[in-house]
């Protein structure tokens, strides 16, 4: 029985201005040039009603409790969960700019427990590969537009970076730490090598879920 090869779920994580959008765009273009079906996604997706509430919070025009904003970020991913699974199963690779790990990291640094932060993410599609773009926070602060939204403070970004590094250590089978402090082309070179490899690896393997509840 022939089965359509599934696509891969490839996620970019990192601090503010670490190059996630730049590199995820380049990876999408790389796949397009090879005629590989690919879709670029981004969280938060500010186009939905939930996304607009998140946008107002990030731009500091709407105050929300830590719990409410956490659940809104998660709900924003759940809005797209079934569509993502369908696309992957039909052979489309998804390149996603921020995902559940941002959700966990940015709330955990406010003092909520890791387990509490993780819970609403359970059952979303598990990425096949996560790139963490590691870049010194001091150098990010000098990149364009740093400092306009609510979390864009050096102290918060440093704590978030530490949580991403813990993920890299703990979940090393699908996390890759990439030195994002180099030129855009050098960073892209490493990413493309890993991404091409994972596309081959996932052929024939089923989609997994994040931290499924027993
Ligand atoms: N958040 C959350 O709390 N919970 C959640 O569940 C999720 C998110 C999903 C908005 O995210 C906020 O939402 C974010 C986390 C929180 N708050 N913070 N911080 P966002 O994704 O919309 O925004 P962002 O990631 O914070 O910022 P960004 O501007 O999108 O950054 P980026 O995509 O990583 O960087 P970039 O646009 O590719 O590059 C930034 C600049 O640096 C640009 O001028 C580039 O040309 C330049 N650049 C890129 N690469 C390089 C290199 N290698 N060298 C030099 N310059 C470079
Ligand atoms: Mg971005």
Residues having CB within 6 Å of any atom of ligand 1: 14, 16-22, 43-44, 58, 73, 98, 102-103, 106, 143-144, 149, 151-152, 180, 183-184, 187
Query: Whole-number mean pLDDT of the chain?
Result: 95
Residue of 13, 14, 22 to test ligand 1 pocket, by largest number of atoms within 8 Å of CB: 22
- pLDDT for 76 equals 99
pLDDT tens readout for residues 144-186: 777 889 999 999 999 999 999 999 999 999 999 999 999 999 9
As a whole number, mean pLDDT of residues 195-201 equals 97
Residue partners of 47: CB distance under 8 A and separation at least 6: none
CA of 84 to the centre of ligand 1 (A): 22
CA of 20 to the centre of ligand 1 (A): 6
H helices present in the chain, as ranges? 20-33, 49-58, 66-89, 100-108, 114-118, 137-140, 154-170, 184-202
Q: Is residue 15 within 8 Å of 156, Cβ to Cβ?
A: no
List the domains of the chain with CATH numbers: 9-202 (3.40.50.300)
Residue partners of 179: CB distance under 8 A and separation at least 6: 134, 135, 187, 190
């Amino acid at each position: 029985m022939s089965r359509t090869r599934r696509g891969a779920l490839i996620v970019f994580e990192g601090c503010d201005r670490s190059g996630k959008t730049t590199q995820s765009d380049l990876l999408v273009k790389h796949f397009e040039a090879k005629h590989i079906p690919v879709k670029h996604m981004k969280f938060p997706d500010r186009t939905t009603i939930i996304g607009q509430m998140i946008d107002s919070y990030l731009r500091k025009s709407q105050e929300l409790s830590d719990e409410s904003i956490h659940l809104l970020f998660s709900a924003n991913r759940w809005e797209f969960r079934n569509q993502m699974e369908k696309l992957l199963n039909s052979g489309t690779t998804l390149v996603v700019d921020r995902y559940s790990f941002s959700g966990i990291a940015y709330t955990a640094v406010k003092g909520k427990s890791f387990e509490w932060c993780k819970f609403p993410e359970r059952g979303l599609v598990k990425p096949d590969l996560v790139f963490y773009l590691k870049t010194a926070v001091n150098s990010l602060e000098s990149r364009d537009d740093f400092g306009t939204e609510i979390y864009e403070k050096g102290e918060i970004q440093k704590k978030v970076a530490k949580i991403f590094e813990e993920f890299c250590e703990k979940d090393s089978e699908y996390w890759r730490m990439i030195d994002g402090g180099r030129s855009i082309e050098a960073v892209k070179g490493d990413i493309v090598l890993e991404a091409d490899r994972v596309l081959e690896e996932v052929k024939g393997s089923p989609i997994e879920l994040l931290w499924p509840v027993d």
